[in-house]
Structure 1
């Protein structure tokens, strides 16, 4: 299929796949929000997919996930000498995840996914109507 031209189903399907990766990354970030560790180096940092446009010709374009990167956000250092994971100074490091931003990203990616589902449903309906008219 590498030589076949992209159609609306390929375009929307690839976009849905990319948004699914984005949703999975957000879910991972949310799952790790609030986690603490005893060192800054081992603290969880949020991950983000990097999208790349795939253009076949003008007007025919979609998206793919190029890679998933770790953000450079710094973990939050908190003094808690009674925590079992505290370092020698009594500090723990909380995951570098902004829960509010993650919720916004989750809603946005879910909406984008939903939009592409609607594109597929509309295309299917139009094709079926065209076939019905042709009979």
Structure 2
């Protein structure tokens, strides 16, 4: 592994956990959405992650964030990729509310099957993983600086 290999791995993990946190936020924001553009209640989403065969590079992560870096560093295996964001396919929860505009003929409204506790646990996991990877990135940065000081 080259000197920046750990940075590449941490950068891919930071990106994956950011996506995971954004999906959780979207789920929480749509917990009461009874009508979407597709028609029907919002469907809870979750992120699928996989081991990266030729992981994202640290410099390409910055380039996607709007940086002017133009030459990607060597790719490093061992990172993580967001393979997809998919609906969980759980059936909606039916609640009796005949005054709701989306109520069916029997007075039931279909709400997304989103449990706030599950979403908060998922958000805590994403936040902690993001923090640990940021700490690993800072440690690698410290090692690089120490190495450069030794070489002076």
TM-score bucket of the superposed structures, by smaller chain: 0.7 to 0.9
Structure 2, unaligned runs of 5 or more:
55-75
4+ residue runs over 6 A deviation: none
Superposed displacement of residue 23, structure 1: 0.6
Superposed displacement of residue 35, structure 1: 2.6
Q: 1:43–1:96: 8 Å Cα contact kept in structure 2?
A: no
TM-score (norm. length: structure 2): 0.77
Question: Aligned residue for 1:120?
Answer: 137
Report 1:1-135 matches (<5 A): 7-37=5-35, 42-55=40-53, 60-135=77-152
Superposed displacement of residue 60, structure 1: 4.5
Count matched residues. 128
Question: Higher strand proportion, which one?
Answer: 1
TM-score (norm. length: structure 1): 0.86
Per-residue CA distance 1:4-62 (angstroms, 9 max, x = gap) = 9x71111110111111111111000000112334xxx6111110111111246xx9411
Cα RMSD (Å): 2.3
Structure 1, unaligned runs of 5 or more:
none
